[in-house]
Amino acid sequence: MKSMDIFSAQKRIAKIGATGFAARWRAPIAPALALLAILAVTVTILLVLFRHENALQRNQLMRDMQSIEVSVTRELLADQQFVDRLAFELAERRDANAYFVLQAEEYVRQRPAIANISWNSVSSDTHLYAPQSRARADILSERPAMEELERIMRLTEATERGTYTNVYRDYQQHSYLEYHSPVAHNQTQLGTISVTYPLHRLAELLVPANFTNRYSVAIMESDIATKREQAETINDNLSQSVALTLPWRDVRLVATLLKTESSLTPRILAALTLAMAAFITWSLLALRKHVKRRDEADLALVASHERFETVTEALDAAVYVADLKSNEVLFANETCRQFFSNASLNLEAGADVSAIESGFDAAPSRIFAASTLIDADGKHLGVQKDEFFHRTSNRWYLLRAKCIQWVDGRVARMHMASDITDRKQTDELNRQQQEKLLLTSRLLTVGEMASTLAHEINQPLSAIASYNQGCVRRLRSGAWDAEEIASTLEKASAQAERAGQVIQRVREFLRNREPTRTAHNVNDVMSGVAKLVELEAEQAQVELKLKLHADLRPVLMDRIMVEQVVLNLVKNAIEAMKNTNLLSRSLTMTTLPSGDDVVEVSITDQGHGITAESEAELFKPFFTTKPEGMGIGLNICRSIVELHEGRLWFSRNAGAGSTFRFTLPVAA
């Protein structure tokens, strides 16, 4: 069987099964691509930022180099001028030594970049220096080697101009540079005045502080400076060198950009981006795991729905599911179409459940309202059921309803309808049969009663006749007493009344009608029946005992029917005692409350009792041990009691005879 193609939930499920997985796989790929794109863009931006910052820094460095060069050159030139002037003046002065000390001492104090100023005589016998506060040994340690001094001496003599020494190192490998200016008198070289610069500290002493904060500045020989600049470029550090125009000396000023905070920003950005990418990757993996779990759950759902479909399709009952709120049909099996289908039944997608339910004589959506299926806290209640007649198919259905959660999470009501038309018809036939039996039984009982009734009516009639004759006799004799006559006539009319009552009861009993249940006291029924069988009991010499409970709650019953049950049981009891010992023929009619809401009636005799063989057949129709018996009395009695939701049974007495009991529920 194939299920109807009308239900969106099924389609949704189908989608999960077919295209859902592809869509779910696309889901993590899209963010992955987006992540890659973000990364690419961020890396590009970072590169551009790096380049831009590099270019800015390089420009800045070049500008700064110019300033540094100007500043350093100015300082060195100022020193050159001072030394040149001092050398010139000393050549002319007699107090040259004192003058040197004075001037040099004063100048060296103002110029921290200068390690010392020395007067170097040609003969090397005089060596004056400033500052004199320093030890001679210290001064000498920062001076060039003798050969270099001699070379400079010769050079200055030849050129008659100041010059710089080569860069030289002390024993600590600190490099130094000196400027020498010749002191000559009358074409005779007397020596030189030199100023010594500690090159390793020169930059820091000469370069303004605002540059040294940002650059590491050094003055070094050209070839070393070039090598250093190349190395820095390879290391990607910004470095720039510029030649200082010093006489006879090719030295260069090298500035290398220090790592500043500003250059850290792009790195921090890059680190943040990487962290972000790592976080997004982690999120993606988590998302994928989650999606996988959902897929598995969906698959399980699909499988369970398929099972549900297979089971419902195999059922010989119509099953349909509708949204509790919107009444939209979510599922219906093929049997639904067979049961309720007609030309006008709309089974298109999203159909309203009324398409299925409109054929019922009562609306299931009203009978099984949401409040009967689900409580105030949203808890699903148990299965509800009711019988419905379906007009269109002209059949009876037992409709069960239950609240369920549908696959897509919606709260729905699920119905299962089973065809109970055959059972209904059988029930009706049974009911009619019972009715007929009841009537037959009544007629039979009345037939049996006819002879005793004749006797009963005959009794008062003969009594009336004898009372009348007595009166007539007294009146004729002339010796009569009015009071006596009146009393006799009253007795006669009482007898007539009794006969009338008997007839009235028989008429009532015979009236054929539908059972009607009204509240009655069972005691009244018992007394009524007792009166009815009074005569019969008398004839059978059976003593009737009534033990009626004084405080009985009323019972909802068809009085005539219940009377018939009691009558039947009492007559059976009398008949059971017909051939027993005359002394022990008593019949007890008892009423008792049993529990809070049941009344129990019992008829106890001292008759021949019931054999084990009879017991099995007792309530079966047409079982009788009597020659004129019909054998339907007990069967009808049990049906009537059960019709009143009661129970009828019998038990053997401890002594002789048996007791028949039945219960009836009290009126609510």
Binding site for ligand ADP (CB under 6 A): 568, 572-573, 576, 605, 607-610, 614, 618, 623-626, 629-634, 658
Quick one: which of 398, 402, 428, 405 has its CA closest to 414?
A: 402
DSSP 51: H
Question: For residues 155 and 122, what is the distance between their CA atoms, to the nearest angstrom?
Answer: 12
Look up residue 119 and give its amino acid.
W
Nearer of residues 357 and 605 to ligand ADP, judged by Cβ: 605
Nearer of residues 202 and 573 to ligand ADP, judged by Cβ: 573
Q: How far is the CB of 575 from ligand ADP (least distance, A)?
A: 7
Question: For residues 373 and 359, what is the distance between their CA atoms, to the nearest angstrom?
Answer: 22
Q: How far is the CB of 432 from ligand ADP (least distance, A)?
A: 21
- DSSP strand E in 85-228: where? 116-121, 127-130, 163-164, 168-169, 175-185, 188-198, 215-221
Q: How far is the CB of 504 from ligand ADP (least distance, A)?
A: 26
Question: For residues 319 and 400, what is the distance between their CA atoms, to the nearest angstrom?
Answer: 10
Nearer of residues 272 and 616 to ligand ADP, judged by Cβ: 616
Q: How far is the CB of 630 from ligand ADP (least distance, A)?
A: 4
Q: Distances in Å between the alpha carbon of 336 and those of 12, 319, 340, 366? A: 21, 6, 6, 20
Residue 201's contacts (CB-CB under 8 Å, 6 or more residues apart) are 113
Quick one: which of 530, 568, 562 has its CA closest to 546?
A: 530
Quick one: which of 565, 427, 438 has its CA closest to 514?
A: 438
Q: How far is the CB of 653 from ligand ADP (least distance, A)?
A: 10
Give the residues across from 593 on adjacent strands: 599
Nearer of residues 31 and 629 to ligand ADP, judged by Cβ: 629
Nearer of residues 557 and 610 to ligand ADP, judged by Cβ: 610
Question: For residues 186 and 12, what is the distance between their CA atoms, to the nearest angstrom?
Answer: 117
Q: CB nearest ligand ADP: which residue? A: 633
617 CA to centre of own chain: 62
Nearer of residues 330 and 637 to ligand ADP, judged by Cβ: 637
Question: For residues 612 and 246, what is the distance between their CA atoms, to the nearest angstrom?
Answer: 149
Q: How far is the CB of 339 from ligand ADP (least distance, A)?
A: 43
Q: How far is the CB of 604 from ligand ADP (least distance, A)?
A: 9
Please classify residue 275 by burial: count the beta carbons closer than 10 Å to its beta carbon, then call 0-12 exposed, 13-18 middle and 19+ buried.
Answer: exposed
Q: How far is the CB of 443 from ligand ADP (least distance, A)?
A: 13
Nearer of residues 118 and 606 to ligand ADP, judged by Cβ: 606
Give the residues across from 416 on adjacent strands: 319, 400
Residue 369's contacts (CB-CB under 8 Å, 6 or more residues apart) are none
Q: How far is the CB of 557 from ligand ADP (least distance, A)?
A: 20
Q: How far is the CB of 452 from ligand ADP (least distance, A)?
A: 15
Nearer of residues 183 and 573 to ligand ADP, judged by Cβ: 573
Nearer of residues 355 and 566 to ligand ADP, judged by Cβ: 566
The two beta strands, 555-557 and 586-594, are unpaired
Question: For residues 464 and 460, what is the distance between their CA atoms, to the nearest angstrom?
Answer: 6
- Take residue 469 and report the two structure tokens written for it: 């004759």
Nearer of residues 629 and 665 to ligand ADP, judged by Cβ: 629
- Take residue 263 and report the two structure tokens written for it: 């250059």
DSSP 582: G
DSSP 446: H
Nearer of residues 61 and 648 to ligand ADP, judged by Cβ: 648
Q: How far is the CB of 576 from ligand ADP (least distance, A)?
A: 3
Look up residue 611 and give its amino acid.
T
